[in-house]
């Protein structure tokens, strides 16, 4: 069972439109590096430049034939998440629709502005950059949820997120 505690402190400032970036509470170089060292360690995930994000963003893509989740589990092609460059440090990822309000209420994410406008699936969120080791673990848990969603491993997740 996935247990997510509330994020401490206020939400960071973000841009209200695309490109959707985090502009305050950005991670230091050590936290950013520690997170990225582990973010791409999922089975059957390739690390490549994002096909939909800003230059320097790195995508998590499932290898061809590994994505079994619904269309709403992917941003474009097999890309289910991407990590923004170090000056931002946040991520965009696709999360199961029933998990999104819970993750937002716990202070870890916000809907993508284009999702809020109905232009892309409501499963698209920005997860805020982890600022320390404990937050790295939580953001990795959220990334694992996105991965499981893309792999088609999840039904309803309301029993998994607290």
pLDDT in tens, 34-89: 999 999 999 999 999 999 999 999 999 999 877 777 889 999 999 999 999 999 99
Residue-level pLDDT at 146: 97
CATH 1.20.1260.10 given to domain 29-150: no
pLDDT tens, residue by residue, 91-105: 999 999 999 999 999
Phi, psi of 133 (to 5 degrees): -60, -40
Report which of 30, 74, 27 is spatially closest to residue 52, judged by C-alpha positions.
74
Q: Can you tell me the distance from the alpha carbon of 60 to that of 1, in angstroms, rounded to the nearest whole number? A: 23
Given a contact cutoff of 8 angstroms between Cβ atoms, the answer to whether 113 and 50 are in contact is no
Q: Which residues pair with 76 in a beta bridge?
A: 79
Beta strands in the chain (DSSP E): 45-49, 58-62, 79-83, 91-94, 109-111, 124-127
pLDDT (average), residues 118-142:
96
Q: pLDDT per residue over 2-38, tens digit each?
A: 789 999 999 999 999 989 999 999 999 999 999 999 9
pLDDT of residue 1: 55
Residue ranges covered by each domain of the chain: 29-150
**The pLDDT of residue 6:** 97
Say what the pLDDT of residue 160 is. 46
pTM as predicted: 0.92
Rounded CA separation 99/12 (Å): 21
The per-residue pLDDT for 75 is 94
Q: Residue 8 CA to chain centroid, in angstroms? A: 18
pLDDT digits (tens, 9 = 90+) for 140-162: 999 999 999 999 887 544 444 43
């Amino acid at each position: 069972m996935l247990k997510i505690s509330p994020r401490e402190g206020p939400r960071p400032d973000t841009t209200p439109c695309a490109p959707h970036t985090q502009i305050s509470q950005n991670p230091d170089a050590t936290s950013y590096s520690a997170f990225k060292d582990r973010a791409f360690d999922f089975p059957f995930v390739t690390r490549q430049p994002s096909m939909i994000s800003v230059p320097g963003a790195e995508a998590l893509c499932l290898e061809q034939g590994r994505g079994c989740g619904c269309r709403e589990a992917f941003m474009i092609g097999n890309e289910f998440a991407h990590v923004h460059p170090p000056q931002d440090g946040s991520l965009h990822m696709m999360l199961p629709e029933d998990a999104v309000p819970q993750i937002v209420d716990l202070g870890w994410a916000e809907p993508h502005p284009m999702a809020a406008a109905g232009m892309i699936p409501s499963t698209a969120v920005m997860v805020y950059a982890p600022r320390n080791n404990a937050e790295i673990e939580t953001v990795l848990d959220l990334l694992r949820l996105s991965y499981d969603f893309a792999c088609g491993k999840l039904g309803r997740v309301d029993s998994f997120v607290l």
